[in-house]
Structure 1
């Protein structure tokens, strides 16, 4: 499903589904981190099951106030011990499906929020954002 923002930016998530993410003109099939006002970059976390403290440390180093963690086609919650780097820096963490994280990210960017979305992409996912 296409996701639209009233005022598109370079980090607006235009669409998500079928293992494909569109940010601006870029078509992406791997996990990414999207930061409000800064665009996107690849994220080394291939799946929720493989999240390590180092992956969370990458997110904590972004210096945002809120991280949305898109956990794939199903909502999962990492063990609190994995999230220590975020909690120590008083960075909020919200976990949801990747589709929900895409929609929520666009809304928060429109509201001018200091947010990042860490989106886990699943190659075999046929889920559509909507």
Structure 2
């Protein structure tokens, strides 16, 4: 059997999640950030789900996703209904999960060439 390494056709992938941060490619990020397969926006304002407002979702939506992944930190915590509505009222799906699950899901969706954007709270 021949095995072939396939390099993704996107720029950013998530390689690890720990208490110290998230590893994007070979770089550890320790502050909240937004990620699309070809876009990285560092120093996203909210640091915790309790700080997240509908206005904070706008930079994610500006990237024209079909689905938004929201990494809520080390554990699953849901945002306010107003934050969820910022996506849902525009017909954009939003999935909330802990950061480790969001990282795995992001990589799968990006590999499938889906229009995914993720926001990670750190």
**What is residue 52 of structure 1 aligned with on the other side?**
53
Tell me, in whole angstroms, the C-alpha distance in 1 between the residues paired with 2:28 and 2:97.
22
Task: Please state how far the C-alpha of 1:18 moved relative to its aligned partner.
Answer: 2.3
- 1:39 partnered with 2:60: no
Counterpart for residue 11 of structure 1: 12
Query: Structure 1, residues 31-51: CA drift from partner, whole Å, max 9, x if none?
Result: 111112x23112111111111
Distance 1:25 1:58 in 2: 24
Distance in 2, matches of 1:83 and 1:46, equals 17
Q: CA deviation at 1:23?
A: 1.0
Say if 2:50 and 2:79, in contact at 8 Å, map to a contact too: no
TM-score normalised by length of structure 1: 0.80
Could you say which structure has the larger radius of gyration? Answer: 2
Report the alpha carbon displacement of residue 65 of structure 1 after superposing the two structures with TM: 0.3
- Kept in 2: contact 1:10–1:23 (CA 8 A): no
- Residue 116 of structure 2: aligned partner: 115
How far, CA to CA, are the matches of 2:69 and 2:24 in structure 1? Answer: 16
Moved over 3 A (4+): none
Cross-structure match for 2:21: 20
Q: CA deviation at 1:16?
A: 1.3
Determine whether 1:106 maps to 2:107: yes
CA shift, 1:6, in A, is 5.2
Say whether residues 1:64 and 2:65 are aligned partners: yes
Q: Alignment length, in residue pairs?
A: 116
Aligned partners of 1:73 and 1:99 also within 8 Å:
yes
Q: 1:46 to 1:6 in 2, by over 3 A?
A: farther
TM-score normalised over the length of structure 2? 0.85
